[in-house]
Amino acid sequence: MSGYQAVVFDMDGVLVDSEPAFFAAVNDAIGRSGKQIAWDDYKQLLGTSVEVTRDRVIEIVGLDGDPRAHFRGFDGILIKRLSEPKEPLPGTVGALDALAERGVPYALATSSTRPWMEAVLTSAGILARFPVAVTADDLERMKPAPDIYLKAAGLLATPPERCIAVEDTIPGITSAKAAGMFAIQVRASSTALAPIEDADLVIDSLEEFPFELLDV
């Protein structure tokens, strides 16, 4: 297919290799209770909402009581980790430059909160490139529900079926497809998953972004 008119990017694992910072922050938080979660257990939570991640981590490691108590002060712990300098993933800057040069509108659709998003993109030096961004603070239902991608398409004034979504996780691909978008899985991060069956296209990095699909 071709004739797509806008692009919507996920953030963590797509633009910046920030998932290791989330993983480290989760272990910082639950480590105060003498627990740690292994990467093999944590990776199944990639792309899920903040609440789902928190509750499942507590279940997996076997902590009793209110999950929120074990994650008290988590925002500060996480923002410190996310603010550590990071390079954008390969092809990110080039893809954003090329979209801007072609006049193709693009947006961000992330399950992170807005402060987390700002910390990640600031750490990578690309915050100013995303004046249009939808975060976990803007919606009640997060991925795999389609809401976040539908809202991003609305902000771009583009029908969702004319948008390309760039994702790295199963919940993200499910969300984008449910919104009616062409869903690309990018596998450039250290936490890259095996090719996702429901993705319309799988690429190794944004250096391979299919500009030929755009109506420009």
Catalytic residues: 10, 12
**3 state DSSP class of 9:** strand
The two tokens of residue 35 are 């627990």
The two tokens of residue 207 are 């250096």
Contact 113, 120 (CB under 8 A): no
Beta bridge partners of 70: none
Q: How far apart are the first and last CA of the chain?
A: 14
d(CA 62, CA 56): 10
d(CA 141, CA 135): 11
CA-to-CA separations, 123 to 16, 119, 190, 198, 215, in angstroms, rounded: 9, 6, 17, 31, 32
Instruction: Tell whether omega for the bond before 85 is within 30 degrees of 0, i.e. cis.
Output: no
d(CA 89, CA 166): 13
CA torsion 166-183-216-13 (nearest 10°) is: 10
- Residue 8 identity (one-letter amino acid): V
